[in-house]
């Protein structure tokens, strides 16, 4: 989990809202030509996650943009393109900086940060860039970063135990038991992604009804040549306090088209850590 104490965020207090819709505010500092990529990623997650099941703040970290008694709606994300580890290796990293506990006992992100490696950024295709931003934004919202706190994962277990993603694991991918979590890749990759073959070195053999392999799912630990967002990923957000769009066992092909990520063929497989 990355709950580093960045104290750079100084938004004003917000008034409570009747409906806890999700609004993602990205404070991006960098080349303006990429601003639209961040806006697009925010719009995608807003359309998929819609809002929160509860969101009423009963406890908070000291730097959160929210106070006790308010209802979470906006998430504030600082985004920057800066040097991480040079070309290759890590493409990006992200996580919550500030969280709250809501009245339904969910830990929710209110403020977070995303970083993208400047050494890799320009070499990414537009589709890869969009995938990487969507991926890191999911970490800010809690995917893999607030699993422990929300009781859906224990580090080292390799098994995600949240009920809704588990249902999707079984119905969408025809698996038994609970979703497999990545244990390879070291800190930052292990315990925070769906499992795939380390370094994306091969397919997993775990496929959905459209024969899409888990290797290509957005929230595995390595960027792949084609990307899709599974119902399992969307359902996992229900396990940690969001109200996502209703998941279906057999997603329409249009789901991928909507996300602009379906059937992205890049020709060259790029295996890089997310
Ligand atoms: Zn990741």
CA of 13 to the centre of ligand 1 (A): 30
Residues 6+ positions from 187 with CB-CB distance below 8 Å: none
pLDDT value, residue 247: 55
pTM score = 0.84
Q: How far is the CA of 236 from the centre of ligand 1 (A)?
A: 15
Angle in degrees, CA 138, 184, 112, rounded to 5: 25
Contacts of 78 (CB under 8 A, 6+ apart): 6, 8, 9, 27, 29, 112, 113, 114
pLDDT digits (tens, 9 = 90+) for 234-265: 999 999 999 999 754 444 333 333 333 322 22
Distance from Cα 222 to the centre of ligand 1, integer Å? 8
Task: Kindly give the distance from the C-alpha atom of residue 73 to the centroid of ligand 1, in angstroms, as a whole number.
Answer: 24
Percent of the chain with pLDDT over 90: 71
What pLDDT does 19 receive?
Answer: 53
Cα 5 to chain centroid, rounded? 20
Considering 9-23, 48-62, 256-270, the range whose residues carry the highest mean pLDDT is 48-62
Averaged pLDDT for residues 29-36? 90
Q: How far apart are the C-alpha atoms of 3 and 6, rounded to whole Å?
A: 8
Q: Which two tokens stand for residue 238?
A: 């229900």
Q: How far is the CA of 216 from the centre of ligand 1 (A)?
A: 13
Query: In sequence order, what are the residues at sequence separation of 6 or more whose Cβ sits closer than 8 angstroms to the Cβ of residue 145?
Result: 1, 2, 3, 94, 95, 96, 109, 139, 192
Q: How far is the CA of 220 from the centre of ligand 1 (A)?
A: 7
Please give the distance, rounded to the nearest whole angstrom, from the Cα atom of residue 92 to the centre of ligand 1.
8
Given a cut of 80, is residue 31 above it in pLDDT? yes
From the CA of 206, how far away is ligand 1's center (Å)?
A: 19
How far, in Å, is the centroid of ligand 1 from the Cα of 156? 16
Specify the higher pLDDT residue, 128 or 272.
Answer: 128
> Do residues 125 and 117 lie in contact, with contact meaning Cβ atoms separated by under 8 Å?
no
Q: Are strands 92-102 and 107-117 parallel, antiparallel or unpaired?
A: antiparallel
**Cα–Cα distance between 165 and 126 in angstroms, integer?**
29
Q: What is the pLDDT of residue 178?
A: 98
| Rounded Cα distance, 100 and 87, in Å | 36
Exposure string for 192-223, b = 16+ CB within 10 A, e = fewer: bbbbbbbebeeebebbbeeebbbbbbbbbbbb
CA 193–ligand 1 middle distance (angstroms): 6
Instruction: Say how many Å lie between the CA of residue 16 and the centre of ligand 1.
Output: 31
State how beta strands 74-82 and 272-273 pair.
unpaired
Provide the pLDDT for residue 215.
96
What per-residue confidence (pLDDT) applies to 5? Answer: 33
Calculate how far, in angstroms, residue 33's C-alpha sits from the geometric centre of ligand 1: 24
Residue 63 has pLDDT above 80, yes or no: yes
Distance CA 35, CA 13 (A): 25
Q: Longest Cα pair distance anywhere in the chain, in angstroms?
A: 51
Q: CA 160, CA 64: separation in Å to the nearest integer?
A: 27
Task: Give residue 94 CA to ligand 1 midpoint distance, Å.
Answer: 8
CA of 141 to the centre of ligand 1 (A): 12
Segment among 16-20, 37-41, 66-70, 202-206 with least mean pLDDT: 16-20
For residue 189, report the distance from its CA to the centre of ligand 1, in Å: 6
pLDDT tens, 108-153?
Answer: 999 999 999 999 998 999 999 999 999 999 999 999 999 999 999 9
- CA–CA distance, 25 with 265 (Å, rounded to integer): 30
**Ligand 1: distance of its center to the CA of 15 in Å?**
32
C-alpha 69 to ligand 1 mean position (Å) = 32
CA of 274 relative to ligand 1 center, distance in Å: 4
Distance 188 CA to ligand 1 centre (A): 7
CA of 165 to the centre of ligand 1 (A): 17
């Amino acid at each position: 989990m990355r709950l580093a104490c960045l104290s750079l965020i100084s938004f004003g207090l917000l008034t409570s809202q009747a409906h806890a819709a999700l609004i993602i505010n990205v404070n991006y500092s960098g080349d303006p030509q990429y601003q639209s990529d961040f806006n697009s990623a925010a719009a995608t997650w807003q359309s998929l996650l819609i809002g929160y099941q509860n969101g009423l703040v009963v406890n908070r970290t000291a730097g959160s943009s929210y106070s006790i008694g308010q209802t979470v709606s906006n998430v504030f994300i600082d985004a920057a393109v800066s040097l991480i580890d040079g070309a290759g290796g890590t493409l990006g990293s992200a996580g919550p900086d500030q969280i709250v506990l809501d009245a339904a006992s969910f830990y929710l992100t209110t403020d977070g940060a995303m970083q993208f490696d400047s050494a890799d950024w320009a070499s990414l295709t537009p589709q890869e860039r969009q995938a990487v931003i969507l991926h890191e934004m999911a970490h800010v919202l809690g995917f893999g970063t607030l699993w422990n706190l929300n009781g859906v994962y224990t580090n080292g277990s390799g098994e995600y135990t949240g009920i809704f993603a588990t249902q999707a694991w079984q119905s969408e991918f025809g698996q038994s038991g609970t979703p497999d979590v990545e244990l390879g890749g070291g800190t930052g990759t292990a315990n925070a992604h769906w499992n795939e073959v380390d370094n994306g070195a091969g397919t997993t053999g775990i496929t959905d009804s459209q024969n899409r392999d888990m290797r290509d799912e957005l929230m595995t630990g390595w960027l792949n040549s084609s990307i899709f967002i599974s119902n399992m990923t969307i359902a996992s957000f229900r396990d940690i306090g969001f109200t996502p769009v209703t998941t279906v066992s057999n997603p329409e092909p249009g789901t991928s088209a909507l996300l602009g990520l379906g059937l992205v063929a890049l020709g060259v497989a790029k295996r890089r850590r997310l």
